[in-house]
Structure 1
């Protein structure tokens, strides 16, 4: 019988890429994941589909579950012979209460392992361009809790020694206690004009950095309205930010971008924009589902040897076609036809199945496919197009005019996504979204459906970026003026077009 075990895993400071290989391996293996507020949800995408997810997030004054109950939960789940991952922001043993959880597991004879995480004490200043040590400026640093109760009779922090003995001080979770912290530092000898910084949501696209001084910090934070989670860093290393700031110098830093692609496909666009500093909000306007019946596609696959050309107009068509090919007990060897792909992403996916497309048009849309195929289409040739149930008719119509016998079969359907239209409309109305990305005509029409009768007015509150002219035409037909249209009709091309627009501002 499998024995239960608990992995105390550090998820890192916020940027979901700052997690160890071992941590990802634990997440993949887990039967149960107990996670907190500071662990990025995208990390959970690595988990098995049947994993048990338990949220125990804690904000400064709002605890979903008491620590004692979390400790017991880990014991209970391990005693069910489950592999349990306790996923924490930062590092489990740096003010993460991982030690308490480990002792409880030890007390109950539960095996455990600790997987360290990158602590925010070092990484968050680094993302703000502030090294915690630097030759000639700081040769020591200390990490201190900023969460100590200022009303207790005696502080456990040795302020008289800490205030002046260490070059760089990093207080975690200290924003709400800033008057207490700065008061003690000044009282025990730290000059009020010592450079300091408050960094909120460090390492994430939402990162905010406030440069101040020890004496002015509490007042500046109150004026700015900064709330947790944030760290407070004190020391002359803060002055290096003027030269070393890199994360918030990115071209899309702080731009709030709405990604309307289907949830399964959003990551490529989100990741590409996030690497340039954008704060992406995923609100799928479409979802990809199987057709009501695979019978037409299955029948076409059964007669696959009859076709002269097989045309794929999207990566979704490729995925669903090869899924049904496998279901029929067949593989790539069953394809005798020549193959055309509407663009490089579709062609690249075909290569994963061992197919090199014979035709990839210069222009990644139906008109480009027609132009590229025209010299090769002869009277009576049979063409199979597995695609979305609802799509533009121009490709099969033009091929038919060229003399081909065209069979269009539904490989998948696109439906309106499950995004909360009312909440999204409110964000747009309040100016919380700066740019909306559209990657197909269906993302445009479906977003309008989600937003309701005033959809076009809400969308007009933000800039609009379209993946190509067909999507842009759909926008214009619905009273929406695109601000940018990608010249290359791919996700890469869309990102490049958005980047160019902001660089020109």
Structure 2
């Protein structure tokens, strides 16, 4: 058996968009991914279905996998011929122990590549409005570990050199040793009024900062229970923050959203919310397989006067089936409709003059197109709404159970303040797979701001005794963004 290949990849500091193109390409072809706590779990959604995901995360005093075990997994999986990804937060060469892992791979004759990433020591300050160098404030910059392998964990550093020879210093994971760091810098010549900023979860929407000086920051951090993961930036360059802070000015910065998910495609809504500064957790993650082709229906498409698509994905899947079956779309004589504004728009983008289901006339033979959730959960509603119809199932979806522990960790580290239900089905799914399965606490729905997109979604929420804060009469992405930007939470 030929050996596989290992990619040692820097995932960047948190913002999914900050991973390199090369890193993303490797994720898309991986068979096994070993990932750290600080690598954004959303990156794992770009892996192919069936890719094995192994959590290597480390918390203070609670290691999931020791370094030796991680290295052994890299070697053993590569020796079976698999493409293996080691996904590390930030840059793998900056306190990422990539040298140890690469050395072990080389010893076993395993091919590997090291893919650099954006280091959090540079990115987190930039997202806080602080470049780490500036001709006026700082022409030298150092990255320093804030703990080491000693019994007390206090780093043995060149304190005189750091205090007098470096303008700006980024300490990684330095909260526990903050008093020790400040004391030694002051003792070795750094002015006690030197500016300091702590940046927690840098580049995430939940990014938090705390600003002070070498004389005050340790007490300030204790008072507010500031914790890792964090970068401690020391230097007068911190003063630039007042002029060029940009990320924290985004309209949804700080908002942490749980978006109920019914589709397998990448969500445009989730991306737009993230672009506006929010942290977005999409639940759940789905796997999809094509349904058997129903040639009886396909050969008689000209018999239908109306075709109603229940989701954008069902549209793509349906026309893919037509092409693969050798059926010309010009054989369609029916008027086409989408069950939502989003579905109607997807039809329009394919060149069809389509409208929403509300505009559909009640006469003429109807074909309903959707996935297996339509078959299982919505037929009774469809019968009462549209009368008799034929049904075409495009695909079968099921929860990707491998992602459940990933979501659990995401929810533990987030403080969700907003829950968005885009559709009535999304309410049922979140209740069934999240709340009723004791995976998501019911209290979350009681304390968060609930937003229902449309009247049908409101009705589904009421059936589960969910009380929304807002119901959008116009269930569009633009209307949702306007509501969230203009509303308060917390």
TM-score, with normalisation over the residues of structure 2? 0.84
Q: For each residue in 1:391-416, what CA deviation from the matched residue of structure 2 results, as whole angstroms up to 9, or x when unmatched?
A: 4889877877xxxxx52425378999
Q: Does 1:304 align with 2:301?
A: yes
The alpha carbon displacement at 1:7 in A equals 1.9
Q: For each residue in 1:337-388, what CA deviation from the matched residue of structure 2 results, as whole angstroms up to 9, or x when unmatched?
A: 3423345532443467xx422332xxx4x33x23xx58xx6xxx43323242
The alpha-carbon distance between structure 1 residues 66 and 214, as it changes in their structure 2 partners (threshold 3 A), is: same
The alpha-carbon distance between structure 1 residues 415 and 92, as it changes in their structure 2 partners (threshold 3 A), is: closer
CA contact 2:421–2:427 (8 Å) conserved in 1 = yes
Q: Equivalent residues in 2 for 1:23-422 (5 A)? A: 23-149=23-149, 156-262=156-262, 264=264, 267-284=267-284, 298-322=295-319, 324-325=321-322, 328=325, 330=327, 332-350=329-347, 355-360=350-355, 364=356, 366-367=357-358, 369-370=359-360, 373=361, 381-387=364-370, 388-389=374-375, 390-391=377-378, 407-409=389-391, 411=393
Q: Single out whichever of 217-226 and 68-77 deviates more from structure 2.
A: 68-77
Aligned equivalents of 2:153, 2:471: Cα separation in 1: 63
Aligned CA RMSD, in angstroms, stands at 3.7
CA contact 1:252–1:502 (8 Å) conserved in 2 = no
Aligned equivalents of 2:444, 2:106: Cα separation in 1: 55
Aligned equivalents of 1:50, 1:413: Cα separation in 2: 16
Secondary structure of 1:264 counterpart: coil
Secondary structure of 2:134 counterpart: coil
Which structure is larger by alpha-carbon Rg, 1 or 2? 1
Aligned match of 1:434: 417
The alpha carbon displacement at 1:42 in A equals 1.8
Secondary structure of 2:42 counterpart: helix
TM-score, with normalisation over the residues of structure 1? 0.81
Aligned match of 1:484: 470
The alpha carbon displacement at 1:3 in A equals 4.3
The alpha carbon displacement at 1:439 in A equals 1.4
The alpha carbon displacement at 1:147 in A equals 1.6
Q: Equivalent residues in 2 for 1:458-497 (5 A)? A: 459-476=445-462, 479-497=465-483
CA contact 1:124–1:202 (8 Å) conserved in 2 = yes
Secondary structure of 2:17 counterpart: coil
Secondary structure of 2:130 counterpart: coil
CA contact 1:266–1:282 (8 Å) conserved in 2 = no
Aligned equivalents of 1:179, 1:451: Cα separation in 2: 43
Secondary structure of 1:311 counterpart: strand
Aligned equivalents of 1:417, 1:6: Cα separation in 2: 25
Aligned equivalents of 1:459, 1:154: Cα separation in 2: 43
**Structure 1: which 5+ runs fail to align?**
401-405
CA contact 1:341–1:357 (8 Å) conserved in 2 = no
**Structure 2: which 5+ runs fail to align?**
none
Q: Does 1:500 align with 2:486?
A: yes
**How many pairs are equivalent?**
476
Q: Does 1:443 align with 2:426?
A: yes
Aligned equivalents of 1:23, 1:10: Cα separation in 2: 7
Secondary structure of 1:87 counterpart: strand
Aligned equivalents of 1:399, 1:35: Cα separation in 2: 48
Aligned equivalents of 1:392, 1:112: Cα separation in 2: 51
The alpha-carbon distance between structure 1 residues 496 and 65, as it changes in their structure 2 partners (threshold 3 A), is: same
